[in-house]
Chain A
């Protein structure tokens, strides 16, 4: 295990302020480490990777890592990412978004990116809350849970990000957690190499805005909860059914090869140019 931390430091922008801005025990830092290890394991040069981030605590990730980075606007990261991929398909474009970013304000972009099967990786850091702005309820906050805007418990059902992306047509859909770091490395690596639109939802604890209000005494309790309340999807007898015990399935939910939008576009371009010759 000797070089794990050294390797991460090699990818950080040491001219930025460290320690980073995330609270103690925030899962987003673990996901940043996992993303770096995944890119490194694939042997991708830093300059071939573009990290497009939205706004939120999750979006701060783009500040710290030495890839090509774009810090965009809240909810619109996928639109920037789509443009970058269409203009230069050789780049590996990874879009980091929070649950509010990807599902609430940016939900429409998410379903259409999935429908188009644009060759971008959406890394959705689901902490079940609007972390950055003070803990408002998001569309991924579980029903009944407390947030700043739902002091008596949320009355709304939460989106299931995996089910929604599958239904919208994404060709690679996976779910991991900040606790299962080794599995997360694998999920992110295969998502990056996947030709069409890939989604990795990551359950990433927010001890400050979500945990405190929902009976988690500290960050450690939230990771213990993730350990006890998740189940590998490949061990389920009926992987298409939600487990009856309420545990959250993690793993790869869809992995099919379909040409990405950028591939179809360049195919069309070649064909039309051939006709005009």
Chain B
């Protein structure tokens, strides 16, 4: 589960619940998170996340979720709305449509 492999996760912060205590920012071993000028945690280096789980276990406000990336790079769709997800307009992750593979044998 928590293999020390980078680039496997999406780090999602729910800004409405984050109180900016800074625990996740201070203790993340991979320096994935920063506090933004609004005093909320923000994802800065998502590709560095090693999925250690510290932030999820210690956020006193349950405002961070670490989710696996799907093959095409997006996180799993989240059943709850409102999670900040840089790739979706409405804060909800929606994996992009897979582009059809070019046919390697055009004769067939």
Contact = CB atoms under 8 A, between A and B. Distances in A.
A25 B60 contact: yes
A19 B21 contact: no
Interface residues of B, number: 30
A11 to B, nearest CB: 10
A219 B27 CA distance: 12
Given A20-B61, A33-B57, A181-B57, A2 B22 contact: no
A28 interface: yes
Nearest to A36: B62
Interface residues of A, number: 31
Interface string B58-70: 1111111111100
Interface of B is mostly: loop
Interface in A158-188: 178-179, 181-182
A9 B23 CA distance: 20
Interface string B17-45: 11111110011000000000000000000
A4 B60 contact: no
12 contacts: A2-B67, A8-B62, A20-B61, A25-B60, A29-B61, A30-B59, A179-B58, A207-B21, A219-B21, A219-B22, A220-B23, A223-B26
Given A5-B66, A223-B58, 17 more contacts: A1-B2, A2-B67, A2-B76, A5-B65, A19-B16, A19-B19, A24-B20, A25-B22, A28-B60, A30-B59, A33-B60, A179-B58, A181-B58, A207-B21, A219-B22, A220-B26, A223-B23
